[in-house]
Amino acid sequence: MAIEQLTMPQLGESVTEGTISKWLVSVGDKVNKYDPIAEVMTDKVNAEIPSSFTGVIKEIIAKEGETFPVGAVICTMEVEGEAPAAETKQADAPKAESTVTAAPAPKKQAGERGRYSPAVLRLAQEHNIDLTQVQGTGVGGRITRKDLLKLIESGNIPTADQTPAAQSAQAQSAAAPVPKAEAPVQAAPKQQAIPNVPVQAGDIEIPVTPVRKAIATNMLRSKHEAPHAWTMVEVDVTNLVAYRDSIKDEFKKREGFNLTYFAFFVKAVAQALKEFPQINSMWAGDKIVQKKDINISIAVATDDALFVPVIKHADEKSIKGIAREIAELAAKVRAGKLRPEDMQGGTFTVNNTGSFGSVQSMGIINYPQAAILQVESIVKRPVVKDGMIAIRDMVNLCLSLDHRVLDGLICGRFLARVKEILENVSKDNTPIY
């Protein structure tokens, strides 16, 4: 029998690490090639990873809840075939090597910077984090992106001026007036950012799942980095409602899936994005990237999580095509079959908050996109039309925008165009196919 190693796969183009959320096998289990062995959570997607071999699980190295970099060994398997002595020793080598890299001394050497992932180095540079003072939780004490995000969220960020040498220098110059000005730099008060919530009898403590942690991290990053602004328009969709309701039964019978109101909204947004490409942009530090492809992210909720699959090239699809993709992506999310590629490439997000009765909301931007549109509930309201009070089907469209990228003028024009498209939906103006 030969020993083979299974490693953390790369579940996305910019993914550098993953968290084992659940093992689907145990030591001693026989698995076939391509059988799912574990569920892995990254900052982009929750996915099952398949076995690369047929054999028996020998050792599970990664524990549930642990984060490992891409390429790290997560388990080993016994597979059929002869294992020469040299191969057996080689299979055992990573364990010894892991012991060496886990030693704390080499972590502070300059040469160890090569072990940091690009995501870790980028976060350290953005937040002035001294990596030599960070205790990693990854394999062999490796610092992961998750470690840094936890520090940033807590506010207890170790910087270069907090090293023992710097603290000694500050102590020696205590008589000078400078230390008083530097006092706010100390991290102690920031530690209060983590709330100390008392737990009383009868309270229920709910563990934070990897999916919920990823959502929290992305939302926090968006709110910290993107200066949010908000605007709203109300749209008379009486004609749209009448048109859709008149053909929905025939459509369902013919196509096998529902023609939803949401498909009309996504199509209108895609058309307006083509006319106002500035909205289809992203902030990239020293530049703004205006994306060529119009890929609409749609928010799909489960009982305990939120996923954002993508409708690729939405401007090139008919309302029928968009309706089909909405149905298929929603079904994948709820069946737990969403693939990493289904979540990638989004350039603008449309969120159907009206599906649970909301009439006005302020969405958090899906980072690094520049805007998110909330489609609220369609409700009948009395409005003034042609000098008369009439009952009309009205909907609010709420746009959150990154004010680094977009200003009110262009967003106002964009929303006005979406409103115009939706208010002019009819059998003659709006082909379904």
3-state SS of 290-316 is: ECCCCCEEECEECCCCEECCEECCHHH
Residue 180 covered by a domain: no
Structure tokens at 164: 């023992």
Lowest mean pLDDT: which of 6-10, 368-372, 402-406?
6-10
Q: Which residues pair with 379 in a beta bridge?
A: 394
Residue 46 covered by a domain: yes
pTM of the model: 0.61
> Which of 142, 140, 95, 89 shows the shortest CA–CA distance to 119?
142
Residue 350 covered by a domain: yes
Q: Whole domain around residue 30: which residue ranges?
A: 2-101
Higher pLDDT pick, 148 / 397: 397
Active site residue 403: yes
Mean pLDDT of the chain: 81
Q: Given 29, 286, 403, 428, which residue is catalytic?
A: 403
Boundary residue ending a domain (81, 101, 121): 101
Contact 260, 323 (CB under 8 A): yes
Which H or E run contains 243? helix 238-255
Boundary residue ending a domain (101, 119, 154): 101
pLDDT tens, 195-251?
Answer: 788 888 999 988 877 777 777 887 888 888 889 999 999 999 999 999 999 999 999
Active site residue 35: no
Q: What mean pLDDT do residues 179-187 have? A: 39
Residue 118 covered by a domain: no
Residue 96 covered by a domain: yes
Lowest mean pLDDT: which of 16-25, 93-102, 159-168, 285-294?
93-102
Lowest mean pLDDT: which of 112-121, 159-168, 246-255?
159-168
pLDDT at 98: 38
Band of pLDDT at residue 115, cut at 50, 70 and 90? low
Q: How many domains does the chain have?
A: 2
* CATH for 258: 3.30.559.10
Band of pLDDT at residue 43, cut at 50, 70 and 90? low
pLDDT at 309: 92
- Measured CA to CA, the distance from residue 290 to residue 161 in angstroms comes to 39
Residue 213 covered by a domain: no
DSSP secondary structure code for residue 369 in this structure: B
Tell me the C-alpha to C-alpha distance, in Å, between residue 275 and each of 72, 279, 315, 324: 46, 10, 11, 24
Residue 86 covered by a domain: yes
pLDDT at 412: 95
On whether both 97 and 232 belong to a single domain, the answer is: no
Band of pLDDT at residue 275, cut at 50, 70 and 90? very high
Q: Given 43, 92, 407, 428, which residue is catalytic?
A: 407
Residue 14 covered by a domain: yes
Tell me the C-alpha to C-alpha distance, in Å, between residue 247 and each of 48, 74, 235: 39, 53, 21
pLDDT tens, 322-371?
Answer: 999 999 999 988 888 888 888 889 999 999 999 889 999 999 999 889 99
> Which of 141, 17, 7, 16 shows the shortest CA–CA distance to 72?
7
Buried b / exposed e along 114-128 (16+ C-beta atoms within 10 A): ebbbebbeebbeeee
* CATH for 26: 2.40.50.100
On whether both 258 and 398 belong to a single domain, the answer is: yes
Sign of CA dihedral 50, 52, 57, 63: negative
Boundary residue ending a domain (55, 85, 101): 101
On whether both 92 and 235 belong to a single domain, the answer is: no
